[in-house]
Amino acid sequence: MRILFLDLDSTSPDHLGCYGYHRNTSPNIDRIAAEGVRFTNYYTSDAPCAPSRTALMSGKFGIINGLVGHGGTAGDMKLEGRERDLMGKLTRGGALPSYLNLVADLNTVLISPFPQRHSTFHFYAGFNEIMNTGQYGNESAERVTPVALDWIERNASKDNWFLYINYWDPHTPYRAPEEFGNPFEHEPLPAWLTEEVLEKHKQLAGSHSVHELNIDHRGKTYTNQTSPAFPRYPGEIQNMDDMRNMIDGYDCGIRYMDEHLGRLFASLEEQGVMDDLIIMISADHGENMGQLGIYGEHATADQATCRIPMIIRWPGMKQGIVDEGLHYHLDLLPTLADMLNSPVISDWSGTSYAPVLREGADCGREYVVVSQCAHVAQRSVRFREWIYIRTYHDGFHLFDKEMLFNLADDPKEQHNVAAEHKEICREAVYYLNEWHEEAMRKNSDAVDPLWTVIKEGGPFHARGYLKEYISRLEETGRDHLVPELVRRHPGEFPQEPNPALGHMIAKIGARMTNK
């Protein structure tokens, strides 16, 4: 058995041809999709990067494994505690690569810098060979592909291996080399991104809004600065030319990566292993490209961030079919156990969708719950045609506490209809409570890490930024948004403010009094 798993960071299914995108971004991915099963309602349980990959590898929701953010206590997995054995659970088959190594005797191989990027060294658990491509996830495909080709040329003809490869090109800042050109410069933008939509987005606040697409972590500021090293990535979107630069930059990243995937597939064909090779193509999360007014970021627990591609080409199984059932990415571990006729680890959170691969049978869930605690603190319920989003910390985006979108009518999440459909919101809250109760029963320390994030100061990518962001809002003529931000986040201000900050708060108070 040979398995190739391609983890394509920040790749949204909305921007892949096989998922209906109007641009030819992914011909090599599309070819594999035509030969296998394409899942259309496949979700990361926890976003963004570190929570997603930790849930995938451990087979457990972030609320159970403990890693739901990018910093603080919730930036690490929970310890096993006093019941920990000489070897921890991740070594004893509790992680994806260690499970494949133990039950199927596969040589497990990783080509990725990801553990070093987020200090998530548990990600290594169970890999026999590890190749760090060395730039913390800032590398382009031309750095990743030679490493992968070298391994393929030396090892592909051997039997029994699992090769996991990370590509990063769709992640900001968009870095396809200048000589690649722009194959999309004369093609239309997605039809829903109009000047009217852009004008609405100009009224919004928060990181990766059209006014500030970048974060300066050292200065704790949101900025519109650009870098000459990344001409495909704008600092702001003030007109439709900027919009084109943004969308084209992302799509070029996907197409450039796809061409490198084609080189891998060609080499595998040369090695004579392509026909019986199991190929899985997925991502850690999608990307907001205008949904909720956010661009070039994976910052929410919404459809754009949490819906991910999943394509499985398994020779001898179903080919050329589409599955529309609801599944989590962490369902992969029990699915593999099912396909290998091997035991399931009792504390995995997932359920098998092997019947889809074997018979094309529908085995989707009634609902899925997805979480985000790195940029905002949100949990959302995806069921039938709906996604319900509950916001606990808005990351300074001024999101409504409750948002409800009908994805059949409004796939880009432009119209919050929570007020018109209270009965649907109540149904979603019932599902959310049901999920939460079951997860907390399996929680070793009865601590919900979402609340740990909030009590430690909020999501990492917003923590401590509000005072500087208020100054930017005032400088850019959006000071009408300041009073509501201060009302929602009083804990961001010290009890005894310095004179400059006191003057700012006094001005805010005067505005609120006069309204």
pLDDT score of 424 more than 50: yes
Run of H or E including 451: helix 449-455
pTM for this prediction: 0.94
- Grade residue 503 by pLDDT with cuts at 50, 70 and 90: low
H, E, C per residue of 108-157: EEEECCHHHHHCCHHHHCCCCEEECCCCCCCCCHHHHHHHHHHHHHHHCC
Please name which of 148, 138, 158 lies closest in space to residue 273, comparing C-alpha atoms: 158
Task: Please tell me what DSSP assigns to residue 60.
Answer: S
- Grade residue 508 by pLDDT with cuts at 50, 70 and 90: low
293: left (phi over 0), alpha (psi -120 to 50) or beta: left
pLDDT at 495 (0 to 100):
54
pLDDT tens per residue, range 79-90: 999 889 999 999
pLDDT at 133 (0 to 100):
96
Bond into 355 cis (ω within 30) = no
pLDDT at 502 (0 to 100):
59
pLDDT at 413 (0 to 100):
98
458: left (phi over 0), alpha (psi -120 to 50) or beta: left
pLDDT tens per residue, range 155-169: 999 999 999 999 999
pLDDT at 509 (0 to 100):
54
User: Domains in the chain and their CATH numbers?
Assistant: 2-44+51-58+83-339 (3.40.720.10), 466-514 (no CATH)
* Distance of alpha carbon 72 from alpha carbon 67, whole angstroms: 10
Beta-bridge mates of residue 311? 38, 281
Share of the chain above pLDDT 90, in %: 90
pLDDT tens per residue, range 317-328: 999 999 999 999
The predicted model gives 268-288 an average pLDDT of: 98
pLDDT at 420 (0 to 100):
98
pLDDT at 504 (0 to 100):
59
- Cβ contact 294:1 at 8 Å: no
Please name which of 512, 289, 297, 480 lies closest in space to residue 395, comparing C-alpha atoms: 297
Please name which of 38, 64, 34 lies closest in space to residue 51, comparing C-alpha atoms: 64
* Distance of alpha carbon 281 from alpha carbon 42, whole angstroms: 12
pLDDT at 512 (0 to 100):
47
- Grade residue 500 by pLDDT with cuts at 50, 70 and 90: low
pLDDT tens per residue, range 89-130: 999 999 999 999 999 999 999 999 999 999 999 999 999 999
- Grade residue 491 by pLDDT with cuts at 50, 70 and 90: confident
pLDDT tens per residue, range 208-249: 999 999 988 776 788 899 999 999 999 999 999 999 999 999
Residues in CB range of 368: below 8 A, 6 or more apart = 43, 45, 326, 327, 328, 381, 382, 383
Highest mean pLDDT among 220-234, 341-355, 501-515: 341-355
pLDDT score of 274 more than 70: yes
pLDDT score of 364 more than 60: yes
Residue 176: count other Cβ atoms within 10 Å of its Cβ.
Answer: 26
458 half-sphere exposure, CB direction, 13 A CA radius: 19
Mean pLDDT of the chain: 94
Run of H or E including 325: strand 321-328
- Top pLDDT among 376 and 512 is at 376
- Cβ contact 182:147 at 8 Å: no
Helix pair 96-104, 49-58: axis angle to 10 deg: 20
pLDDT at 494 (0 to 100):
60
Q: Which residues of 45-69 are buried (b: 16+ CB within 10 A; e: fewer)?
A: bbbbbbbbbbbbbbbbbbbbbbbbb
Please name which of 63, 98, 42, 57 lies closest in space to residue 440, comparing C-alpha atoms: 63
